[in-house]
A and B are shown apart, each in its own frame.
Chain A
Amino acid sequence: MIISIASGKGGTGKTTVAVNLALSLENRVQYLDCDVEEPNGHIFIKPKFQSPITVGTPIPQVDKSKCTYCGKCGEICQYNAIIVIKNNVLVFPELCHSCAGCWLVCPEHAISPINRELGVIEQGNKGGVEFIHGKLRIGEAMSPPLIRKVKSKIDSTKIVLIDAPPGTSCPVIESVKKSDFVLLVTEPTPFGLNDLKLAVEMVRSLKLNLGVIINRSDVGNDDVRVYCAEEHIPILMEIKNDRKIAEAYSRGTPLVVFYPEYRVKFQELYREIERRTGL
């Protein structure tokens, strides 16, 4: 079972849901923090990390002694990451998408792939939770390749929880695709609703099963509930706005540690997802 926890809007409680679901399940859980730009799950799970593994992506390196400056590499590259100007080849590593086009097309075999560092993957255990996250190198623009590497660690014998980044574009899609179920965490405010609608469209375009969790459920207005009813989207859980929860969060204390009664609610949430996916 692979469950992704996503949201259009940031700060709605994705990590809270992922952490507390992980800590409430007695089964073997794998927690993949795919918010590689700003991973936060480790602050709450507190795993003991093994040494980080550096992750890279292949980019071209040109052997100028073999290059005839024919320009084919520049022609195939859609990203202007390699350009031939007179008797020089320029490579712009940050623009390269690692499509391999240039080294496949080079008739002189003058181009070979070298590694550009994307970031690191760290892995560690805590209780029954196997925790893995990616940390994007600061200055690196492209997170999807690192997210793919984090997801390559999926152990399908476990319950896999994917903590996705906010938004609705490529990093989110890379994180949630191939999930059995997507939990969209929102709040009942105009921003929450607007971004929930975008997230629902995104999940539906991927043809995935989804449900909504409303956090800080007693603020704002009723529009999120009305929208979910109209769209036949199940609301699977509500978490009240509680200053004590916010304060515990600020210190890195998980909700279920602070309020043990939530453990049962998260277990019920998981059973409901099992029922809905038939897994």
Chain B
Amino acid sequence: MKEIVIISGKGGTGKTSITAAFASLTINKVMADCDVDAADLHLILSPKIQHEEDFYSGKTACIRQSDCTQCGKCLEVCQFDAISPDFVVDPVACEGCGVCVWFCPVNAIDFNDNLSGRWFISHTRFGPMVHAKLGIAEENSGKLVTLVRRQAKLLAEKEHLDYIIVDGAPGIGCPVISSITGASAVLVVTEPTLSGKHDMERVVSLATGHFQIPTFICVNKYDLNEEITEQIEKYCHDNNIGFVGKIPYDTIVTDAMVQAKTIIEFSERAISKEIHAMWDKIIRSIDQSY
């Protein structure tokens, strides 16, 4: 079983539209949406939820005013400015470290589990999908990402499916690290802008330098700036990274999204052919190297 994670560095380069297009192109796979704090893949794949569970993660301190003697010990030990001068914990600022709970001399601080979100196993017209919703202003998106990937893997094993296609998050931090750790391959979707290139280089050095994961790059809206597209191709060549595709700018990406369809379902134009060719290249390359 091979797990391919689609990331981008910069947000809004077209990760989810491309991930959804891949869903139309393979039969034996599980889809997983690991962009848990701004998940969008469900808007195209229209999942029907078959199974759902709460996700508990971390804890939050809460001072019982009736028992508090206002000695100030908690204020002194809290490193996160989460306790107000009148001894109320700000649940957003609270890091859940429990240091105040430990040091409170009169045991006046409760320490309860957080309900941080929900996760789902669903059926879609393209097969099974695992996804999640992080609660508003909740932490631990990395742990929820790990859970989604674990569930997707279990599902793939149970149903003898060959691929897991993962929609990742923007950036290079905690949810991205949790999305790519141990994956078979990473596809970075970038755009030919100075920002897109800058962010792509950072996330590529995370994937290849830090985690040594086989990495592919494609340029979306390549015709917006062909000079930067060429620079990205050269970057791939110089750094021995598989350059798998140049996707033209096309308004049908938005049109397909509005109709909740994948680009492949929506149109047979050049863009669909390019995405198809890209997927074939990635699969061929992964199947050879494993």
Contact = CB atoms under 8 A, between A and B. Distances in A.
B221 to A, nearest CB: 8
Contact of B174 (A104, A143, A166, A194): A143
Contacts of B175: 169
B213 interface: no
A187 to B, nearest CB: 8
Contact of A100 (B96, B99, B195): B99
B170 interface: yes
B225 A250 contact: yes
A247 B174 contact: no
B173 A78 contact: no
Interface stretch (B123-131, B147-155, B250-258): B250-258
Given A99-B95, A169-B139, A202-B137, A141 B12 contact: no
A52 to B, nearest CB: 15
A198 B38 contact: yes
Interface stretch (A9-17, A24-32, A84-92, A121-129): A9-17
A139 B171 CA distance: 11
Interface in B90-109: 92, 95-99, 102-103
Interface stretch (A170-178, A230-238, A257-265): A170-178
A89 B58 CA distance: 23
A8 B136 CA distance: 12
B285 interface: no
Contacts of B251: 219
Contacts of B59: 78
A136 interface: yes
Given A167-B170, A170-B139, A38 B9 contact: yes
Interface in A96-149: 97-101, 104-105, 136, 138-143
A101 B98 contact: yes
Contacts of B40: 9, 190-191, 194-195
A10 B11 contact: yes
7 contacts: A139-B206, A143-B171, A167-B37, A167-B38, A168-B137, A205-B92, A206-B92
